[in-house]
Amino acid sequence: MHELSIAEELLQIIEKRASEEGIRRVERINLRIGEYSGILPDSLEFAFEVLSRGKITEGASVEVEMISPKFSCGKCGEAVLSHETNCPKCGSEDLTLHCGDELEIISFEGE
- CA-to-CA distance for 30 and 82, rounded, in angstroms? 25
Please name which of 72, 81, 70, 66 lies closest in space to residue 34, comparing C-alpha atoms: 66
User: What pTM, to 2 d.p., does this model score?
Assistant: 0.85
CATH class of 3-68+100-110: alpha beta
Who contacts 24 (Cβ-Cβ below 8 Å, separation ≥6)?
Answer: 18, 56, 110, 111
pLDDT by residue (tens digit) across 61-97? 999 999 999 999 999 999 998 888 899 999 999 999 9
pLDDT by residue (tens digit) across 21-72? 999 999 999 999 999 999 999 999 999 999 999 999 999 999 999 999 999 9
E-only strand ranges, 1-111: 26-34, 61-67, 70-73, 79-80, 95-99, 103-110
